[in-house]
Amino acid sequence: MQVGEIIQDWHMPMLNNQVRNVAFYRAISERVKPGDLVLDIGTGTGLLSMMAARLGAGQVYTCEVNPVMYGKALEIIKLNGLSDRITVFNKLSFDLTAQEIPPCDVLVTETIADDVFGENILKIVTDAQQRLLKPQAKIIPQTVRVYLALVESRQLMEKLRMFPDNTCGFDLSPINEYQGTFLYVTPKDIPYYKNLAEPIVVFDADLTQPYVTQKQTLVEMTHTGNCHGMIVWGEYRLSDGDGTGNYLNTGPHSPQTSWNQMFYAFNNTGDGIPVRAKQLGTINFDLHAEYTYIFNTIS
């Protein structure tokens, strides 16, 4: 296994994201009480587990599936003098058993993906609730919210497909058989797309309660243009904080984020869906169908 497969280009910026780290530290300090048993899923370097141990957890149980990162987590935890307080398993959380760990009081997981759900945060939490946690266990993050912005962007589409007016009169259309449907975008891409409507919330779930997995949301267009696709990001309430909440937002305009956002293109010729200002449309979100987002205009 190469080093680049272990430490990817997003890993160091994430670890260096002080806003992220402080937000989780604050959440753990609010949620974990002295003597609590804590389950940390996806330990990585062991940072969140060490936070919980320092803040009074009686014992922390955590897991890391990557064998090299697992070894590094053991090294880091030992370096910080916390090996007696943290038990690390080299496996997925789905493979942990009740024989290995007792029911825990608190779950903390930073399985937060650029596309919100790509690291299976909902499945991870649900599985842990059913098998590994006490009935009223606290969960960090407690809520997951998905924002979506409809955008026009020829520039983003050119990263996914070939446009015939770019090729000096030659027909290269067969290459579009390999057209992509999504790509990562960052705040550096903001100048290359135009919002055609205000960002809307299409999914909002409290992970400690049953939540809706299908939802239709009405959206009003604010600009006339061709809608090429949608940009998606998340917002996570880690704890209650001072009453206003302790949030982590991964959106394009958030100073907190070390994450990318996801651009999902509409599967069409590349011209986009024509829309006009004040026109209404719907976003249909379906968590069961690989978390699909479908946009339709209303005449």
**Residue 119: active-site member:** yes
Work out whether the CA dihedral 291, 285, 288, 106 comes out positive or negative.
Answer: positive
Which of 110, 158, 220, 235 is an active site residue? 110
Which of 5, 100, 119, 152 is an active site residue? 119
Please give the structure tokens belonging to residue 258: 């070390």
Residue-by-residue DSSP string for 79-101: HTT-TTTEEEESS-GGG--TTTS
Phi/psi at 264 (5° precision): -105, 120
Work out whether the CA dihedral 275, 278, 282, 283 comes out positive or negative.
Answer: positive
Name which of 259, 264, 270, 268 is nearest 283 in CA terms. 264
Q: Is the peptide bond before 141 cis (omega within 30 degrees of 0)?
A: yes
Q: Report the C-alpha gap between 48 and 6 in whole angstroms.
A: 18
Measured between alpha carbons, how far apart are the two ends of the chain, in Å? 54
Show which residues are catalytic: 110, 119
